[in-house]
Homo-oligomer: A and B are copies of this chain.
């Protein structure tokens, strides 16, 4: 991929900025890929988002992206999430799933660097062993090291080793929340393809965007929501809401915005007024 020219200024790394609490940004797989076309990156979206991230000038930023049409179809085909079934074909599928994620990650990394963002990829499978699909290890030490230097850690949903299942899928959403809690993040910004959380499924034409939401309301929404995507093996919006609860409980504000619409991610990163759903503890 050749990213478009990006004239954004280099991120400053002043000493005062190192004291800022980090923001954790999630770029949804549906935003950065064409979800219905396997292995198809949405390059214009990736380039635009890299530009928006550069423009936002967040002093301490961690980025996590999803798998979209790279990781998900393979993870589903080979049933990676459920663990190793002992067959060689699935083992090769585990390798393939990780390889697909590296391919997507590399495109995003390249676009970020092109916009003068010193992003540094951390492959979750190189450092994490999950337990029954859950992340139990701490990753904050490495992330803090990277942030302290002025780098922007870039993680992604990945096919990882698992102490109970041999291997599994670790979702980007789980990484977002773990990183945010472990780093005592100021905020989480989640960029998805919809405008935020809705009282009912907007695809059914009955959607009302929820502008602000408390922890209690979030929990209730989690019970109501259903899986909305055929490809998303990590649980779609229902899974996302369930993952977010522990972060909101810790007092971390979550902003869900439409990352397909220009400037929404940039405004959310800056903490400016933006169309979306803001979730606060109370």
- Do A109 and B102 contact each other (CB < 8 Å), given the known contacts A118-B88, A118-B92? yes
Looking at the assembled complex, report how far the CB atom of A195 sits from the nearest CB atom of chain B, in whole angstroms: 32
Residues of the B chain whose Cβ atoms lie less than 8 Å from the Cβ of A229: none
By CB atoms of chain B within 10 A, which of A13, A84, A92, A161 has the most? Answer: A92
Whether a CB of chain B sits under 8 angstroms from the CB of A95 is yes
Whether a CB of chain B sits under 8 angstroms from the CB of A119 is yes
Looking at the assembled complex, report how far the CB atom of A157 sits from the nearest CB atom of chain B, in whole angstroms: 15
Given the complex of chains A and B, what is the CA–CA distance between A195 and B35 in angstroms?
Answer: 48
Residues of the B chain whose Cβ atoms lie less than 8 Å from the Cβ of A98: 120-121
By CB atoms of chain B within 10 A, which of A89, A95, A142, A146 has the most? Answer: A95
The secondary-structure label for the interface of chain A is: helix
Q: Total interface residues on A, using CB and 8 Å?
A: 42
Contact with B along A160-184 (1 / 0, CB 8 A): 0100001100000000000000000
Whether a CB of chain B sits under 8 angstroms from the CB of A125 is yes
Contact between B95 and A113 (Cβ–Cβ < 8 Å)? yes
Given the complex of chains A and B, what is the CA–CA distance between A113 and B106 in angstroms?
Answer: 18
Contact between B88 and A11 (Cβ–Cβ < 8 Å)? yes
Select one of B12, B96, B106, B127 contacting A102, CB under 8 A: B106
Select one of B91, B127, B129 contacting A145, CB under 8 A: B129
27 cross-chain CB contacts under 8 A? A10-B88, A10-B92, A11-B88, A91-B118, A91-B149, A91-B150, A92-B113, A92-B118, A94-B120, A95-B113, A95-B119, A95-B151, A98-B121, A99-B106, A99-B109, A99-B110, A99-B113, A102-B102, A102-B105, A102-B109, A103-B106, A120-B125, A126-B127, A127-B127, A142-B161, A145-B161, A146-B161
Q: List the interface of chain A (C-beta within 8 A of B).
A: 10-13, 84, 88-89, 91-92, 94-96, 98-99, 102-103, 105-106, 109-110, 113, 116, 118-127, 129, 142, 145-146, 149-151, 161, 166-167
Known: A99-B109, A145-B161. 13 other contacts (CB 8 A): A11-B88, A13-B91, A84-B149, A88-B150, A92-B113, A96-B113, A98-B121, A99-B106, A102-B102, A102-B105, A102-B109, A122-B126, A124-B126
